[in-house]
Structure 1
Amino acid sequence: MTIIALEVCVDTLAGAKAAQEGGADRVELCSSLSEGGLTPSAGLMQAAARLDIPCVAMIRPRSGLFDFDAGDLPVMLADIAAAKAAGLAGVVLGVQGADERLDTGLLRQLLEAARPLPATLHRVIDVVPDPMAALDQAIAFGFERVLTSGAEPAAPDGAALIRAMVARAGGRVSVMPGCGLEPGNVAALVRATGVTEVHAACASPAPGARAFSDFDPPGGRFVTDPAKVRAMVAALDGVTP
């Protein structure tokens, strides 16, 4: 029976520990999940690498879309080097050019720097003009997986495209849906698409947090909730793609 793996995105060491406690299979390590996830600090990378759960690092130097340029390249290369030095299990990255397609030149340099670490192509694939063409490029580049919502705000709404991507990939790269996945909808998405791993935040409002407009994200701060991780693991138990 295929076991559906759960990756949990976190932006603190406590979050990584909560994901591990809840039974997640892998952690995507970020900072600033309120901004969609940015590069974690070197200190967070080092601390997370000592946990008993594989952690991969987001390599995204700023918020907004993914039109990074040659000026961003040294920063991203240094962040990849920090992930490798910390002993993390992989990196998560993506770049698009002025034409909004994948910037293959910058991607090639980033992937060369990351080797031998496996790499995930992040949700840049959801904002390029042709996600299927980008999937073909990800396969050619040797990415281990692509993270996608099916070019929709939430993965359940993009199930048709995710299913088509799984068929197109044919096992050459893992297609991992993420965004908007919860215990109540994740099993149906797996069955509808044929994916073998999923990505979720599993977060709840921080207990007792005080909002202050200059320091807190809109809507308040959220933290990884081990109970939600356990609920996702339970929802995936026994599900067959």
Structure 2
Amino acid sequence: MEQSKLEIACFNRESAIIAQENGADRVELCANMKEGGTTPDFEITKAVRNVLSIDLNVMIRPRGGNFVYSDGEFEQMKTEIEQFKKLNVDGFVFGILKEDGSVNKEQNKELVALAHPLPCTFHRAFDVVKVINQSLESVIECGFKTILTSAQEKNVVEGIYVLAVLVGKANNRIAIMPGGGLRSSNIALLKQKTNASFYHSSAITDSSETANGDEVKLLKMKLL
């Protein structure tokens, strides 16, 4: 069985360096931690790309709040994907819903096509979809490679049984990546129960917005 991998959500250049130095396999770069992550600044992304040799995925989310976007916001998302592709990032993270809580297949497909050949992760918009199994199929149909989710619970531990079910239903058609309250204290349990291939954490252990190197190291160690 191939080894499970670790993605660290980073909100600054320093965190990205800490993530890489302590064994992370991938960085997800975002801005606005308090909003749950939004599109990072272009220049900061460029600086992060310059110091990273591991994979760098970039969040494309114009604002906090819900995941239903105006035409203007959708155009902004398209422009951002085109711009960030020029920086040789390794993938994108986004998710668009309709007013009724279903996956907006048309808009997501358009962004996935625009990102091609880079892989896309459907982010925690999945945690507010109305019908979880149907939405899983919709996200797969859109061409995403990964879903980042806590299975609609406050954190991954509360969502652990649904996460395990999702991994089974996905059946290697898409990676289910547990994220949301994932820490070194619970990652071994998550791995044991869900058998997911990728895990997501900010590795932040204090009130700052910077990853803790020891926490990254522990997270990685417990996946071995």
Please tell me whether the aligned partners of residues 29 and 55 of structure 1 are also in contact (alpha carbons under 8 angstroms).
yes
Distance 2:185 2:96 in 1: 33
User: What SS does structure 2 have at the residue aligned with 1:72?
Assistant: helix
Paired residue for 1:41?
Answer: 41
Q: For residue 204 of structure 1, report the CA deviation from its aligned partner.
A: 3.1
Tell me the distance in 2 between the aligned counterparts of 1:153 and 1:65.
16
Q: Which moved more, 1:44-53 or 1:224-233?
A: 44-53
Residue 109 of structure 1 corresponds to 110
Q: CA deviation at 1:113?
A: 1.3
* Secondary structure of 1:224 counterpart: coil
Q: Deviations over 1:88-137 (max 9, x none)?
A: 00000100111111111211221121111100000111101012111111
Tell me if structure 2 keeps the 8 A contact 1:177–1:197: yes
Q: Are the aligned partners of 1:18 and 1:225 in contact in 2 as well (CA < 8 Å)? A: yes
Work out the CA distance in 2 between the residues paired with 1:199 and 1:147. Answer: 8
Structure 1 counterpart of 2:173? 172
1:235 aligns with 2:222: yes
* Separation in structure 2 between the aligned mates of residue 175 and residue 168 of structure 1, nearest angstrom: 10
1:28 is the counterpart of 2:16: no
Contact 1:10 1:27 in 2 (8 A): yes
Shift, 1:221, TM fit: 3.3
Offset at residue 197 of structure 1 (A): 1.1
In structure 2, stretches of 5+ residues that fail to align are none
Show the counterpart of 1:222. Answer: 209
| Cα deviations by residue, 1:141-198 (Å, 9 ceiling, x for unpaired) | 2211100101101011111111111111110100000011111111111111121110
Q: Residue 199 of structure 1: CA displacement?
A: 0.2
SS in 1 for 2:163: helix
2:109 and 2:143 in contact (8 A); partners too: no
RMSD: 1.1
Residue of structure 2 equivalent to 1:66? 67
Instruction: Give CA-to-partner distance per residue, 1:14-47, whole Å, 9 cap, x none.
Output: 1110100111000001011121111011112212
Cα distance in 1 for partners of 2:139, 2:68 equals: 17
CA distance in structure 2 between the partners assigned to 1:81 and 1:31 by the alignment: 18
Partner Cα separation in structure 2 for residue 203 and residue 17 of structure 1 = 14
- Paired residue secondary structure (1:71): helix
Which residue matches 2:2? 2
| Counterpart code for 2:223 | L
Percent of matched pairs sharing the same residue: 33
> Which amino acid in the other structure matches residue 25 of structure 2?
D
Task: Give the alignment of 1:122-201 within 5 angstroms.
Answer: 122-201=123-202
- Secondary structure of 1:157's counterpart equals coil
Tell me, yes or no, if the aligned pair for 1:204 and 1:222 is still in contact at 8 Å. Answer: no
Alignment-mate amino acid for residue 66 of structure 1: F
Counterpart CA distance in 2 for 1:144 and 1:107 is 12
**Distance in 2 of aligned mates of 1:19 and 1:195:** 20
- Which runs of 5 or more residues in structure 1 are unaligned? 206-219
Determine the C-alpha separation between the residues in 2 that align with 1:63 and 1:222.
17
Q: Contact 2:149/2:178 (CA < 8 Å) preserved in 1?
A: yes
Task: Give TM-score, length-normalised by structure 1.
Answer: 0.89
Q: Highest CA radius of gyration, 1 or 2?
A: 1
Three-state SS of the structure 2 residue aligned to 1:155 is coil
Q: Is the 8 A contact 1:184 1:235 kept in 2?
A: no
Aligned residue for 1:79? 80
- The structural deviation recorded for 1:222 is 2.5
Partners in 2 of 1:171 and 1:236 — Cα distance? 19
Q: What is the TM-score when the length of structure 2 is the normalising length? A: 0.96
